[in-house]
């Protein structure tokens, strides 16, 4: 298990967070944050059921038990963030799950999530990626509206709905330790890609990418004025302004690609292929112009995200071309 402890000097020592590296296949890829305040704990994100032993080990490492966990918080319902929520909640008898209202219903009844992901990956690959996904009892879920708060020890944390990446996404503002947990709304900031300069990438995975809302979400995070941003992919950064600037540029590019694709006649499959090429060419130009030195290892790290980004923009283009009638 790889963990990083952070306790800001300006905050009471009883308030701190632990970054838990949860992806056994690719270190520095997916984080879960263990937030401790007084005698209480909260997990922010859960990764998949494969991460459960690491999360429980992190509790033990900090001298805490499952009985100390008051909250389990997921920023949105995508499986790399929330697939492990049911298993973790079952292991923590006093915990309540906190989620966006649109995410909460999918976690209470994950059948649709499981069916769609299994159709994409097949049962064997799905199990390898995400393990088992357990339904969550409705009475153990609290859906949080925009601006609602929850308490941890003597700290107050507030959620802000941030659509753009997903319409069921929120971020968690944690002023007691000058931190905002950003899920995917502040993009991907992998440590392995920062060796020659800051590199942040927007994530436009299916099925709810909305460029306007994505920009608004980035700006809303910046406006909170916190010192630390903690994206799920991956770890705390203090370069919030720099990340935000890069994300705006990527979102602008993505919006232009969607507009162009929507004007054409390509199928979704053909659009996905073309958009995948566009992403790779744009990142290669960025790497060359800024001397980032991306090589085989860096491209391998980005491979899954670029495929998902291309798929997400293709879906957005198809939706723009054939909008659904209002309900």
Taking each helix axis from N to C end, the angle separating 268-289 and 296-321, rounded to the nearest 10 degrees, works out to: 140
Same domain assignment for residues 160 and 225? yes
- Domain range enclosing 256: 249-321
Same domain assignment for residues 199 and 295? no
- Which one of 210, 225, 248 terminates a domain? 248
Same domain assignment for residues 208 and 289? no
Same domain assignment for residues 163 and 139? yes
Domain total in the chain: 2
Same domain assignment for residues 50 and 142? yes
* Tens-place pLDDT, residues 272-299: 999 999 999 999 999 999 999 999 999 9
CATH for 74: 3.60.15.10
Same domain assignment for residues 103 and 201? yes
Same domain assignment for residues 82 and 117? yes
Give phi and psi for 91, each to the nearest 5. -85, -15
Same domain assignment for residues 156 and 204? yes
* Tens-place pLDDT, residues 187-199: 999 999 999 999 9
Report pTM. 0.93
Give domain status of residue 327, yes or no.
Answer: no
- Which one of 195, 229, 248 terminates a domain? 248
* Tens-place pLDDT, residues 5-61: 454 433 334 899 999 999 877 899 999 999 999 889 999 999 999 999 999 999 999
Residues 26 and 24: their CA atoms lie apart, in Å, by 6
Instruction: Give 165's DSSP letter.
Output: S
* Tens-place pLDDT, residues 131-188: 889 899 999 999 999 999 999 999 999 999 999 999 999 999 999 999 999 999 999 9
Residues 193 and 161: their CA atoms lie apart, in Å, by 28
């Amino acid at each position: 298990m790889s963990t990083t402890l952070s306790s800001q000097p300006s905050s009471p020592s009883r308030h701190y967070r632990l970054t838990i590296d949860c992806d056994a296949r690719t270190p520095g890829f997916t984080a879960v944050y263990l937030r401790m305040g007084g005698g209480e704990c909260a997990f922010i994100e859960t990764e998949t059921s494969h991460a459960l032993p690491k999360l429980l080990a992190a509790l033990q490492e900090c001298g805490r038990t499952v009985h100390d966990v008051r909250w389990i918080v997921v920023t949105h319902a995508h499986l790399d963030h929330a697939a492990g929520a049911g298993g973790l909640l079952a292991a923590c008898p006093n915990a309540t799950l906190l989620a966006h209202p649109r995410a909460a219903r999918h976690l209470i009844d994950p059948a649709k999530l499981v069916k769609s992901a299994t159709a994409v990956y097949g049962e064997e690959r799905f199990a390898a990626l995400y393990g088992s996904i357990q339904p969550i009892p409705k009475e153990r879920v609290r859906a949080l509206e925009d601006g609602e708060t929850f308490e941890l020890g003597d700290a107050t944390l507030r959620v802000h709905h941030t659509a753009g990446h997903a319409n069921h996404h929120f971020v968690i503002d944690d002023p007691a330790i000058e931190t905002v947990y950003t899920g995917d709304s502040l993009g991907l900031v992998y440590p392995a890609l920062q060796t020659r300069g800051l590199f942040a990438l927007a994530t436009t995975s299916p099925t709810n990418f909305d460029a306007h809302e994505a920009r608004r979400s980035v700006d809303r995070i910046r406006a909170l004025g916190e010192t630390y941003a903690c994206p799920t992919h991956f770890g705390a950064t203090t370069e919030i302004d720099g990340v935000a600037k890069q994300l705006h540029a990527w979102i602008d590019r993505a919006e232009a690609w969607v507009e162009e694709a929507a004007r054409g006649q390509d199928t979704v499959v053909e659009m996905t292929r073309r958009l995948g090429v566009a992403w790779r060419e744009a990142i290669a130009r960025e790497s060359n112009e800024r001397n980032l030195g991306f090589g085989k290892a860096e491209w391998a790290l980005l491979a899954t995200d670029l495929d998902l980004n291309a798929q997400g923009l293709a879906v957005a283009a198809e939706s723009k071309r054939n909008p659904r009638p209002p309900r």
